[in-house]
Structure 1
Amino acid sequence: TLSSPVPAPGQPAPTDPTIAELTVDVVVFATGVRPIDALADNATPEPLPKAPRGGILTDRLCQTTDPHISAVGECAAVDGVCYGLVAPGYTTAEIVADRITGRTATAFENPDMSTKLKLLGVDVASFGDAHATTEGARPLTVNDPVNGTYGKLVMDRTGSTLLGGVLVGDAQAYAMLRPMVGEDLPNPMSFLTAAGGDAPAVGVSALPDAAQICSCNAVTKGDIREAITDGACSVADLKTCTRAGTSCGSCVGLLGQLLDAEGVEQDKSLCVHFRQSREELFQCAAATRIRDFPRFIRRFGTGHGCEICKPTMASIFATLDTSHHVLDDGHAALQDSNDRFLANIQRNGSYSVVPRMPGGQVTPEQLIVVGEIARDFDLYVKVTGAQRIDMFGARVDQLPDIWRRLVDAGMESGQAYGKSLRAVKSCVGTDWCRYGQQDSVRLAVDLELRYRGLRSPHKLKMGVSGCARECAEARGKDIGVIATEHGWNLYVAGNGGATPRHAELLAADLDEETLISYIDRFLGFYVRTADRLQRTAAWVEATEGGLDHIREVVCEDSLGIAADLEEFMARHVEDYTDEWAAVLEDPEKLRRFVSFVNAPDSPDPTIRFGQQDGRKVPLPLPGIRTA
């Protein structure tokens, strides 16, 4: 039953002759953009016409029937059509801007509707003439039900020119294929996943200058090459001067390939103060044992540092030497705002506190303490997706009092504020679930206690599922462990970003000792070699040889550093201390947690709260307008 009237309490459900129960094998939901066009009805002196499917009707210069009103973006129905993509929205804005400023406006042209879905686990892309509507079009199709992939390339009648295509289950070829529409495509079957594993016959060098690299911002290969000629030597430079890769991000990989194709040695300097990459700076700090930033920058860099290199070096120092607190003299000023106050700053200047609950476990007594703290400090409470309790709305001066009560209850710093291990999520495993194959709760607790406080290039999340039903969603984590009847499967590098991705299998059916050693090595290799703010997924993609090379290093010890990586992690485990407890024991550190140095007992008057739908919500900072 797709819909039915709601019966009155105690009354049988009324029958509706227009509603029928259908027995079906497949239900298809057609979803998309619904334009918000209510303003058209309220226009004066008369309402503005709307398209049959919604949207404010405009001509191809984006003008409505009222010469003083234009419509742009997804509420505009250009010649009766609403476009739910970013590129047509930009185009309509440019047309109106040209008209308003007196320049010659170019009429709206039917846009490129190529798109790639950016939802975790939903690999779907279409481009060009995806439905083979061109006369003489010849579709080439490969359907692989074993691997769950489908690919279709639409070629012209000669079979040599690419017209369009559809990719499902594996859309990695989209970035290369979309710019090739209208061009000759040698060996098209090599681009389809199940075609036998042949390498594609063309690379980015084969694209013509007119090929559109970034469809969101209409940037061609010629535009990219011109920017490189003018001095752009990194992906960041290309983003700045061409806007390519700044919207959906699906073309960023091609930008790097174009730099390589043009023979540009990409600049890997951390910032203007250090010509070295983060990996090289990590090795410098490890080799010299320097943990003082002024000494370090005098020896290896120039100037006094910036908002990029200071937090990066603070993280490296903390990774290499966990015996020093992040707020020790000389290190506190290097930290990002979250690390500086050991809590997550919120948009109104207040902070949130997330106590550690290993594996999601909490005792009744600890739960009562959390509730009492939230009540006494008037905090907003939310259960997170990582099986933690987040308390929002604390002022800086309230943080030590909150921590003291949590520490007294046996709860530690959750370190949800740092670029470090956030949490290890778990299902109930063999403790309670009848399907559980291994003790996932105990393993999740062990992993969280082992890697807590590990500073890394970016935040880390883990998950442990007790069976293949995957209740802990381990394949969406940087480290994912799934139980089998023979042991544990280890998945790595699943997380979000511009292109969310599932974790990939690193090794299967491991005993627990081997599992721990592989995780030690993987994390040790990652924190040593990844770039600043690089998630594990992006690190794997950027590593030469990809996951295969990382598997050789971690599982086969191809570089001969496995023992060093395990020793590095063992030192971290041995030296761990609770950062909240350390602050409470140090009067000098406690002095940092006041709203005003000259009035330590005065709360910050700029932090304000309101009510929305019965919930406590932060109000904007004074003088800051929010849309």
Structure 2
Amino acid sequence: MRTRTLVVAGYGMAGHRLVEEMRTGNRGDADGTWRIVVLAEEPRPAYDRVALSSLLSGASARDLTLAGPDVLGDPRVEVHLHSPVTGIDRTAGTVTCAKGRVFGYDALVLATGSRPFVPPVPGRELPGCFVYRTVEDIDAIRAAAQPGRDAVVVGGGLLGLEAAGGLRQLGMRPHVVEMAPWLMAQQIDAGGGRVLAEAIARLGVRVHCSTVLRGIEPGANGRAARVTLDDGTVVDAPLVVFSAGVRPRDELADPAALARAERGGFLVDQWCRTADERVWAIGECAAVEGRCHGLAAPGYRMAETVARQLLGREGDAFAGADASARLKLLGVDVAGFGDAHARTGGSIEYVREDRRAGTYAKVVLDRDGRTLLGGVLAGDTRAYPVLRALTGRELTASPDTLLTGA
């Protein structure tokens, strides 16, 4: 049997999961059908990008590594670092790397990830401005930190709040700027966002919602020195971190005549296949039936879906992402699950809030008040496992009993 070549363009978390599934998942490629060539852009093998903030509290880059000796020493796997794919020839079945080397493929999986979105504001390229994406970004932020000074984080989502927590650990006074009316607006509602903002304010983090960055001005040394917000607020800050979302890395699409989704990303079907039967896309660069998913878990499921196809095994298509999440942000417990924003027609919201204790809990019920559709927890998430398991099912107790975690 001829050994076929699988080329994986990108070696982030989704790309690594694909390699692992091909090697060992559900028996893996026991017959040695595939040779795997991984073309990585970064100077290091795959690592846990979700845990980047731990680098600011004592962890090392080695602690985050996902690709151990078992992968890097596997004779079936070639990993080429500093080798981003720059072109695809679908007719010839080859990819070209930045170094000019050409690799042939029988199957190509695009796992190029995403890039941080930096708003087009004046001063965004000044020294002292950073994104929050790679180990090298974190190293640069640590080197530039000035304890006792203010710093600005643009973006009040998960990554932005993690960045603020990291800057606080470095001794800086973080300001978080979020254009939405409250923090974590995609995961939680206004009540939960208020409790979260009040809790992190007590830790010294200033929150500026419903406003955007207007510009960054340099100081006498040519570095970032002053940040102006659209609401007129001015912050003297020598360090600015952009964490305002990501955009899919899909620049290989147009030259290769691969379709892109309306909002970006390689357009793929529910099996993560492009229109070319030899080309797939997974992770943050993949727009599954037109939609990109910016979390690690959906990327893992995409990788598993593609691996089963390459290995000729049965399995389910990628069925979308569950946005439910239980998080600890700057020491504050937060959770959102199901229809957290009560967007289902006729739904009922039941809220329990204790301003003195700093807790907020909400469940969303159907119009009959019998089926749990979703909810939000902030300050205390002990009820999350039970509520998450009950989502979509009829209540087993009163909302008040469930929210107290009884």
TM range (shorter): 0.3 to 0.5
State the TM-score, normalizing by the size of structure 1: 0.27
Larger radius of gyration, structure 1 or 2?
A: 1
Structure that is richer in helix per residue: 1
Higher RCO, Cα 8 Å, sep 6+? 2
Structure that is richer in strand per residue: 2
State the TM-score, normalizing by the size of structure 2: 0.40
